[in-house]
Amino acid sequence: MFELELAPTAIIGNGFAGDLTVANCGAGFTCTSASEIGGVFYGPEADNIGGIVGFDITKRNANGDGIAVVGAGGFVAGPD
């Protein structure tokens, strides 16, 4: 379908926020993305992470026909 990558993003304080860009749209297609991700590191050693991601991606063929993926989700991870 397509691949997303996080654009270079600074960690400010204990958090980060950045844009997700389409890295591989596929031959013969064009993609646009207004997707974003944000999160924070937390815990005694800042070894946990939690955040949200918002997807807004459009993939079109040469005729202009396409699909849109719009949604949101959350994530958490820790050392365990």
Q: Kindly list the domain boundaries of the chain, sorted by start residue.
A: 3-77
pLDDT in tens, 55-76: 999 999 999 999 999 999 999 9
Burial class (CB in 10 A: 0-12, 13-18, 19+), 50: middle
pTM over 0.85: no
CA dihedral (57, 71, 35, 4) in degrees, to 10, reads -70
